């Protein structure tokens, strides 16, 4: 019995000790927590009385956030007690110190002047600022502290430059290309102008400045004209196309398209095309996109609707069959009426001279009108008598080609006219073709027949 009593007492004592210990643990934990809350934070330069303003900016340099001033400024144990006589100096050159962490910004072939001069702090605050990357100002405002803002002072400003986004084109630290550009030539522009990149890379013909340097035409910052051009066509175009400038400065007749607002761009695409000469359409289609209506000429007369004429007259002159009006017309300008490439008589009569038919003889054999007799030069002969010679080769009243032939198209063989302007009326030709010749009864003479095999005798 005594033994059982002792065991019971020991059990009760153990229980009391355990319960007492458990009841004290929460109190102990609370005391520990309270001590931790009242524990002073690690003291750094920016938590003291002197530099408390540090680290309060929106964007703070990493070491400042961590309170690690020594990696840049070094140690100075006496600074706290006597700051005036124990000032900090940087432990190495600014750029070297920056590069010890920011190694990727070390100088390359082309380096921003500030970095070349070891002046990273020209742009960045070493502690913090209100701008990303601890910049001292935002965007273009920062750049224009050194660079002249006149470059964005013209009427039409490039989008990135207008909003201060200089870094859209320029690397602010180092680059592999001049002017610290992010890419070279047009490839830089194509970073944003992807639509142009797709068109140009798929085009057969590319304007030389586009394949080499867009800035030949466009100012990359701002321009006096739309699309950041410093001048408009044709002046801009003629800065390179000097042969065309010389031509246009000396010709007496200019293509009307050059006198309109679009000038050169009426016919040419400024960037690329799948048609030679950067034409916007195939040559004949291009011409007829304007010459599909009548125009009033300087002399008051009307220029015909050529598209309508070619539609209604099916037998087309060779150059038109080849779909190239420039066979006869210079598309820019000429010293001949109708911007013809060479001289062509504008009248019904013209004294004969080979030089008076330079345009025609650029394709046709001149012997056609030089030999009085022939068996092969022309089918327009009566027996062996060359009737081209008879009509054209006269010292005074030589009939010009236009007296009988339409220059563009006709519904008659050999482009023979139905009528020809003569004085104040349209003189009819009344041409009829036969197997071996033909006849005409124009207003200028009675019926005349010709036959290549059996010579006709006309009264």
Instruction: Provide the pairing of β-strand 205-206 with 419-422.
Output: unpaired
Has residue 20 got a pLDDT over 60?
Answer: no
Return phi, psi of residue 354, to 5°: -55, -40
Has residue 36 got a pLDDT over 70?
Answer: no
Between residues 39 and 89, the one the model is more confident about? 89
Q: So what's the pLDDT on residue 203?
A: 94
Has residue 443 got a pLDDT over 90?
Answer: no
CA of 198: how far to CAs of 146, 159, 187, in Å?
37, 21, 12
What is the helix (H) or strand (E) element at residue 439, kind and residue range?
A: strand 437-440
Q: So what's the pLDDT on residue 351?
A: 95
Q: So what's the pLDDT on residue 372?
A: 96
In angstroms, the CA 53 to CA 289 distance is 72
How large is the average pLDDT for residues 234-255?
96
Has residue 8 got a pLDDT over 80?
Answer: no
- Name the residue with tokens 């302007």: 421
pTM to 2 decimals? 0.78
Residue 414: CB atoms within 10 A of its CB come to 14
**Mapped to the 3 state alphabet, what secondary structure does 216-247 carry?**
HCECCCEECEHHHECCCCCHHHHCCCHHHHHH
Torsion angle of alpha carbons 192, 196, 200, 205, nearest 10°? Answer: -140
Q: So what's the pLDDT on residue 70?
A: 80
Has residue 287 got a pLDDT over 90?
Answer: yes
Lowest mean pLDDT among 61-75, 136-150, 166-180, 187-201: 61-75
Q: So what's the pLDDT on residue 42?
A: 59
Assign 29 a pLDDT band (cuts: 50, 70, 90). very low
Q: So what's the pLDDT on residue 123?
A: 94
Assign 144 a pLDDT band (cuts: 50, 70, 90). very high
What is the helix (H) or strand (E) element at residue 208, kind and residue range?
A: helix 208-212
Residue 281: CB atoms within 10 A of its CB come to 14
In angstroms, the CA 290 to CA 292 distance is 5
C-alpha 172 chain-centroid distance: 26
Q: What does the pLDDT look like over 49-82, one tens digit per residue?
A: 677 778 888 999 988 888 888 888 877 776 777 7
**Nearest Cα residue to 382 out of 372, 396, 392:** 372
Has residue 2 got a pLDDT over 70?
Answer: no
In angstroms, the CA 221 to CA 150 distance is 10
Has residue 404 got a pLDDT over 80?
Answer: yes
Assign 21 a pLDDT band (cuts: 50, 70, 90). very low
Has residue 86 got a pLDDT over 90?
Answer: no
Task: Dig out the tokens for 91 from the structure.
Answer: 């432990």
DSSP, residue by residue, 61-116: -HHHHTT--HHHH---TTTTT-GGGS----SS-HHHHHHTT-GGGS--SEE-HHHH
Assign 319 a pLDDT band (cuts: 50, 70, 90). very high
Between residues 251 and 459, the one the model is more confident about? 251
Give percent above pLDDT 70 in the chain.
88
How large is the average pLDDT for residues 391-418?
95
Beta bridge partners of 295: 303
Assign 10 a pLDDT band (cuts: 50, 70, 90). very low
- Helices (H), strands (E): how many in the chain? 17, 21
How large is the average pLDDT for residues 132-139?
93
């Amino acid at each position: 019995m005594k033994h059982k009593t002792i065991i019971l007492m020991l059990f009760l004592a153990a229980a009391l000790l355990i319960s007492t210990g458990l009841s004290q643990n929460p109190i102990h934990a609370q005391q520990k927590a309270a001590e931790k809350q009242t524990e002073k934070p690690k003291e750094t330069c920016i938590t003291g009385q002197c530099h408390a303003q540090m680290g309060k900016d929106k964007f703070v340099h990493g070491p400042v956030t961590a309170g690690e001033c020594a990696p840049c400024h070094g140690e100075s144990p006496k600074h706290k007690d006597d700051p005036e006589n124990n000032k900090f100096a940087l432990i190495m050159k600014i750029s070297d110190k920056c590069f010890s962490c920011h190694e990727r910004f070390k100088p390359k072939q082309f380096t921003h002047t500030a970095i070349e001069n070891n002046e990273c702090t020209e742009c960045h605050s070493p502690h913090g600022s209100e701008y990303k990357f601890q910049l001292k100002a935002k965007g273009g405002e920062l750049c224009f502290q050194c660079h002249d803002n006149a470059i964005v002072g013209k009427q039409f400003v490039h989008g990135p430059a207008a909003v201060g986004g200089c870094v859209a084109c320029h690397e602010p630290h180092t680059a592999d290309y001049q002017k610290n550009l992010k890419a070279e030539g047009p490839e830089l522009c194509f970073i944003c102008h992807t639509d142009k990149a797709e068109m140009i890379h798929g085009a057969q013909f590319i304007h030389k400045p586009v394949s080499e340097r867009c800035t030949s035409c466009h100012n990359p910052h701002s321009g006096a004209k739309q699309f950041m051009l410093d001048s408009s066509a044709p002046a801009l175009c003629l800065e390179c196309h000097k042969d065309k400038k010389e031509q246009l400065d000396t010709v007496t007749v200019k293509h009307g398209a050059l006198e309109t607002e679009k000038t050169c761009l009426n016919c040419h695409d400024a960037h690329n095309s799948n048609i030679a000469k950067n034409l916007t359409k195939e040559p004949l289609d291009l011409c007829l996109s304007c010459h599909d209506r009548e125009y009033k000429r300087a002399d008051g007369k009307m220029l015909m609707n050529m598209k309508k004429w070619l539609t209604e007259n099916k037998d087309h002159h060779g150059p038109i069959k080849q779909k190239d009006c420039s066979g006869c017309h210079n598309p820019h300008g000429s010293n001949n009426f109708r911007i013809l490439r060479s001289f062509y008589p504008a009248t019904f009569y013209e004294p004969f001279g080979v030089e008076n038919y330079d345009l025609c003889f650029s394709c046709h054999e001149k012997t056609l009108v030089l030999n009085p007799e022939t068996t092969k030069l022309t089918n327009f002969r009566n027996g062996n008598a060359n009737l081209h010679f008879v009509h054209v080769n006269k010292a005074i009243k030589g009939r010009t080609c236009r007296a009988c032939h339409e220059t563009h198209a006709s519904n008659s063989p050999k482009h023979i006219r139905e009528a020809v302007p003569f004085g104040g009326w349209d003189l009819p030709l009344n041409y009829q073709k036969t197997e071996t010749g033909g006849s005409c009864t124009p207003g200028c003479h009675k019926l005349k027949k010709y036959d290549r095999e059996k010579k006709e005798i006309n009264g």
